[in-house]
Structure 1
Amino acid sequence: MSYSGAVKPGGPIDVRELGTLTITKVAVDPDTSNNCYLVTCRESGDQLLIDAAAEPGTLMPLIGESGLSTVVTTHQHWDHHRALADVVGATQAVTVAGEPDAAAITEQTGVPIDRTVTDGDVVTVGGCELEVIRITGHTPGSICLVYDDPDGHPHLFTGDSLFPGGVGATFGDEAAFATLIDDVEHKLFGRLPDDTWFYPGHGDDSTLGAERPGLPEWRERGW
């Protein structure tokens, strides 16, 4: 069956097979419905997890005996790292986060961040490279990861910075919203093509092309 990206907590995973990577999407916690993404290099078997959000009992069987080399936390909010301590304790994976959010993640989880990253840094999984794009606004150190598939279109993991229908919440902070919408417009929509498929921290996926017409409305409404 083709990949849709529509998953629900307690339901089945969805798996996308690229020429070089496998992307496994799972939703955890019925209350927050967070998405977690296991990215596997098809050549080496090396694995990377984006957001150990919750339910280590769900995540660890997905990781399986192949183990885990890296866990990337997209931002500091509590619902995106509740399983971080358990996953790292079981796998000894290297932890990665945006530099401005790293201390808060460690304070909340007790897990040190081994590597802090910002714009232009690269996180590897096997022989594949995912580039870091820092998006400020939802939190000070939120990051996205983009994989430019040599056999297809880019794949973008957006955390809570971009969703179908709008950018992430800024909780009434007008300055934070201005920064967020500017970063999303210039660093994501201004750089990446319409066929870029993006994978958000909650809910369904979309493409930049499907969402691009909404940018003026998002900016005008202020959320």
Structure 2
Amino acid sequence: MSARIDHAVTSGTFSLDGETFDVDNNVWVVGDDTECVVIDAPHDVGVITELVGERAVKAIVCTHAHDDHVRHARALGDAMGAPVWLHPDDLVVWRLTHDVEPDGELADGQVIEVAGTTLTVLHAPGHSPGSVCLYAPELGVVFTGDTLFEGGPGATGRSYSSWDVILRSIDHVLFALPDETVVKTGHGADTTIAAERATVPGPGSPRPE
């Protein structure tokens, strides 16, 4: 059975810097009928467990540690008997939500094998210090979390974020991928690397007002 991508949308809130917003988050599951990897753990453990079904979960991989992506990571990991992995540069953000540390660390270039395919971890800071993207070349996709969306970069107006850094990450990391790569985001619709080349300003560009 070849690897496939399963998808659901969950609704909840995002809180940071004393403000709270309603948000819809994508949940991505990569695997086959036997095993899978869950990308992020937003809002609703029940929706995610239903999406996973009876499969063995190798890991819950966090693209970053904003609370709308990790609030239920520990509960999901416990329910599925799966480790929770996060880039260590995002521990400062993780600790705003959790008192217990993740189970393992993600590193740039790390390869996660699941269901006969691979996900390569790409450290892409800017939206947060430890933001990562997950590139699956055999599937022709990259999971970008909140680093790149249809229409441009992720938000950088809050604590632990940087406009200049996210532009460098997109230019040096994501725009090194093939143009036809499908971008699967943390919120909203898919796009492609080619489409977003026209929307993202180059490194050093001033942040829009």
Partner in structure 1 of residue 150 of structure 2: 164
* AA matched with 1:126: A
What is the CA–CA distance in structure 2 between the aligned matches of 1:213 and 1:92, rounded to whole Å? 42
Task: Tell me, yes or no, if the aligned pair for 1:124 and 1:130 is still in contact at 8 Å.
Answer: yes
Change beyond 3 A, Cα 1:205–1:221: farther
What is the CA–CA distance in structure 2 between the aligned matches of 1:65 and 1:109, rounded to whole Å? 27
Q: Mind listing any 5+ residue stretches in structure 2 that lack a counterpart?
A: 13-21
- More divergent stretch after superposition (104-113 vs 119-128): 104-113
Change beyond 3 A, Cα 1:103–1:177: closer
1:181-200 → structure 2 map (5 Å cutoff): 181-189=167-175, 191-200=176-185
What is the CA–CA distance in structure 1 between the aligned matches of 2:31 and 2:132, rounded to whole Å? 20
Find the residue that maps to 1:102 and give its secondary structure.
helix
Task: Tell me, yes or no, if the aligned pair for 1:105 and 1:111 is still in contact at 8 Å.
Answer: no
With the length of structure 2 as denominator, give the TM-score of the two structures: 0.86
What is the CA–CA distance in structure 1 between the aligned matches of 2:199 and 2:96, rounded to whole Å? 37
* AA matched with 1:186: H
Change beyond 3 A, Cα 1:218–1:186: closer
What is the CA–CA distance in structure 2 between the aligned matches of 1:21 and 1:89, rounded to whole Å? 24
What is the CA–CA distance in structure 2 between the aligned matches of 1:115 and 1:171, rounded to whole Å? 28
Residue 23 (structure 1) aligned with residue 2 (structure 2): no
Residue 40 (structure 1) aligned with residue 26 (structure 2): no
Change beyond 3 A, Cα 1:103–1:114: farther
What is the CA–CA distance in structure 1 between the aligned matches of 2:97 and 2:158, rounded to whole Å? 24
Partner in structure 2 of residue 132 of structure 1: 121
Change beyond 3 A, Cα 1:66–1:111: farther
Partner in structure 1 of residue 19 of structure 2: none
Q: CA deviation at 1:114?
A: 2.1
Match of 1:117 among 106, 110, 127: 106
Task: Tell me, yes or no, if the aligned pair for 2:60 and 2:85 is still in contact at 8 Å.
Answer: yes
What is the CA–CA distance in structure 1 between the aligned matches of 2:76 and 2:100, rounded to whole Å? 10
Alignment deviations for residues 120-165 of structure 1 (CA, whole Å, 9 cap, x no partner): 111221332110101111100000000011xxx6210000000011
Where do 4+ consecutive residues of structure 1 move more than 6 Å? Answer: none
Find the residue that maps to 2:198 and give its secondary structure.
helix
Match of 2:89 among 93, 100, 103: 100
Q: CA deviation at 1:170?
A: 0.9
Partner in structure 1 of residue 46 of structure 2: 57
What is the CA–CA distance in structure 2 between the aligned matches of 1:117 and 1:72, rounded to whole Å? 8
* AA matched with 1:63: V
Task: Tell me, yes or no, if the aligned pair for 1:166 and 1:218 is still in contact at 8 Å.
Answer: no
Task: Tell me, yes or no, if the aligned pair for 2:6 and 2:29 is still in contact at 8 Å.
Answer: yes
Q: Mind listing any 5+ residue stretches in structure 1 that lack a counterpart?
A: 1-18
